[in-house]
Each structure stands twice: as structure tokens, then as C-alpha cells.
Amino acid sequence: MKKSSVFIMSFSLILSALFLSDESKVSAKTSKGGYVKSTYYASGGRVNIEYHDLYLRVADARKYAAKSEVSIAEGAAWFGATFIRAASPYIATIGFYKATEAAVFASNIRKYTDKNKHVHVTLYNDKFYGISGRIVTQWNGQKESIKPFKVPVPKYQKVVKKIYK
């Protein structure tokens, strides 16, 4: 009985960390920059990637970086989960990875905002391989430069949504 409750608690914590919606993506859509959602589908489905390109002004990028970091409550939850005897090494490793990845991402955004430069953030999700990631680059702040992520073969890319502000 004890092992099953430990497993259920551990499993639910891991799933909540992996599958919670990204609130920062939603808040970025309401910023004064731009947003482009595109899909890249090729090779009969073996390449199936969804891109979200966020073009953020300096102030919005600072807010986005702050929301992207691990909150104190989330950190406390990860810490508390390490007291589960059978799963603590695994939970601690996942929590450390998640917190580190979020800190590096926020730091990459702040490298530009500290110099008062606008930011282009690309969030991608490979639906075939289950891989996701985030890319941060500088944006010149011009409406004409708001485009979908550059893919190797553009004819397989479909723009789903564009928002300019």
C-alpha cells in the first residue's frame, strides 16, 4: 500500500510538471510585439513540429522572463517531493533540471533586455519525437520582421496564426 501511494504521488507530480500549460505563452500573445504560430509537417509525419514565435518589446520581455522562472511555490513543491523515500532521487533530478532550464532561458532573455533590445522567442514542440525547446534571439522591433521560424524547407511550413500589435 505504501509503495503504491508513493508511486501515485510521484507520478502525479511529474505529470503536473510536464503537462501544465505554459501561462507565459498566453501572456506573450497579448504583448505589444507580435505572435506567429506555424506548423512544419514533412516526411509523412516524421517531421511534425509546432512553432510559436513571440516578438516582445523590452518591457514585455522582462515580464515574460519573470513569469518563465520557477516560482517559490513550485520550488517548495519540488523540495517537499524529495522526502518521498522511494522516488526522491528521481524527483530531485527532474526538479533540478526544470529549475535550471527555466533559469537559463530567463537569463538569455535578460541578456537582451538589459541592453534595451527587443526579443524574439521561439517555442517549439516536436510532436513525433516528443521534444520541445525554446530559442531566444534579438528582434529589431519592426513589424515587417515578424515572420515564422525559418525552417529548412519552407514549402512544408504552414502559418496558422499571425498577430501584430
Encode pLDDT of 107-147 as tens digits: 999 999 999 999 999 999 999 999 999 999 999 999 999 99
Cα separations in angstroms, 101 against 8, 25, 106: 25, 16, 9
Nearest in space to 34 (alpha carbons), one of 53, 61, 62: 53
44: alpha, beta or left, given left = phi > 0 and alpha = psi -120 to 50?
left
**pLDDT per position as a tens digit, 68-91:** 988 888 888 888 888 888 888 888
Contact 77, 13 (CB under 8 A): yes
Q: Determine the Cα–Cα distance for residues 97 and 92; give it in Å rounded to an integer.
A: 9
If you count DSSP H runs as helices and E runs as strands, how many of each does the chain have, helices first?
5, 5
**pLDDT per position as a tens digit, 7-21:** 555 555 554 554 444
Full-model pTM: 0.76
pLDDT of amino acid 56: 96
pLDDT of amino acid 21: 43
